[in-house]
Amino acid sequence: MEKEQLEALKKEINDVKDVANEALSEEVLLGNSFEFEIEGKTYRVSKPTFGQKQEVYKKRVEKFTQLLQDKQLLLEKDLKKQYKERGIDIDEMQKKILELERNKQDLQLKLAQGIIDQISESELKTFREQIESVEEEQLSVAIEKNTLLEFSIEQQIFVFVYIYLTYLIAEIKDENGKWSRVWNKFEDYENEKEDIVKTVTYYSSLLLKDEITG
Amino acid sequence: MLTQEELIRKLAKSNKYQTLFTYFKESGVQFFRNNTDYTQIQITFLNWLNFYSTIYLDIALDYVSEIVLENNTYEDAYFYYKSKNKTKMYEEKTKKVSKKDKNIETQTTGSFTWVMKNKPSKK
């Protein structure tokens, strides 16, 4: 296949994915619960209730205490110290991210002034490219920083909270149309088929976006 | 492929959701399937709807040209500028308007600027 044809096909596939994702995002946005099917069964994830959030909070404290006792694991601040000894400065990365944000804001003010003053499209494009380049650099530093801190206790707690909340909010519909919890114990969730866990977690992550902090 | 945030922005910018948002603001028409207990992502969507509603209004009021809607970078830059220069932008606009039409008179009272087509009569 010619390179152009391959590019066109890739674009077409991405466009189809965008339409599918758009429909999915729209569906997730319109309610505070979301139904989907896996292997012919109907599942549902819903916005966590106050009680469920309280339960997660208790589990979070428990998990934190448990991980803290494991001498193999490190808190972010200790991990940062170890990286610094190896010549990697995480705090400097954070400073860099903020510095890039200030650069971006300066460029945004210039670009907006240009839009208002109706300067030429090529000048606007130059500002746009400069901003996008700063954003790319900012993203790259942020990804590097997050990857380095991925195994800190704090990050592990964050992932655990997501998983535990998914376990709590997932429901399944029986033949009489009645909803009940998919898993009665967390161990049942952990022993579930990978496909089901992955799908339920994917849909719950769409609904739980920004619902949990830290 | 678009990220979830880009998809949310695309929906918020669309005519369909801008029209629904106007009804939602003006007459409280139900917007989501749930009337209360919004998810964080629904709140984010409302923020984006408000963001685009503001830009569309500014275009209608001739504060900015339609080119601002060409991409997310222009939109973000304009919104950031607007948040930093809200008063300045309004003053510049009213100055421009008064230059265009000599019959238009502006009066500043406190933080409001009244724009009048005809000069108020002196009694």
pLDDT in tens, A59-100: 999 999 999 999 999 999 999 999 999 999 999 999 999 999
Q: What is the pLDDT of residues A28-40, one digit of tens each?
A: 889 999 999 999 9
State how far the Cα of A191 lies from the Cα of A193, in Å rounded to an integer: 7
* Token pair of A88 as six digits: 């990697």
Residue A27 banded pLDDT, cuts 50, 70, 90? confident
Using CA atoms, how far residue A148 sits from A44, A67, A76, A145, in Å, is 35, 18, 10, 5
CB contact under 8 A, B1 and A210: no
What pLDDT sits at residue A25? Answer: 76
Separation of alpha carbons A23 and A26, rounded Å: 5
Q: Are residues A22 and B39, on separate chains, in Cβ contact within 8 Å? A: no
The alpha carbon of residue B23 is apart from the nearest alpha carbon of chain A, in Å, by: 16
Chain B residues in contact with A26 (beta carbon < 8 A): 11
- Partners of B37 on chain A (C-beta within 8 Å) are 32, 47
Using the Cβ of A119 and the Cβ atoms of chain B, whether some distance falls under 8 Å is answered with no
Q: Model's pTM, two decimal places?
A: 0.80
Mode of pairing for the β-strands spanning A33-38 and A41-46? antiparallel
How distant is the Cα of A129 from the closest Cα of chain B, in angstroms? 9
What is the rounded CA–CA span in Å between residue A88 and residue A105?
Answer: 27
Pick out chain B residues at pLDDT < 70: 87-123
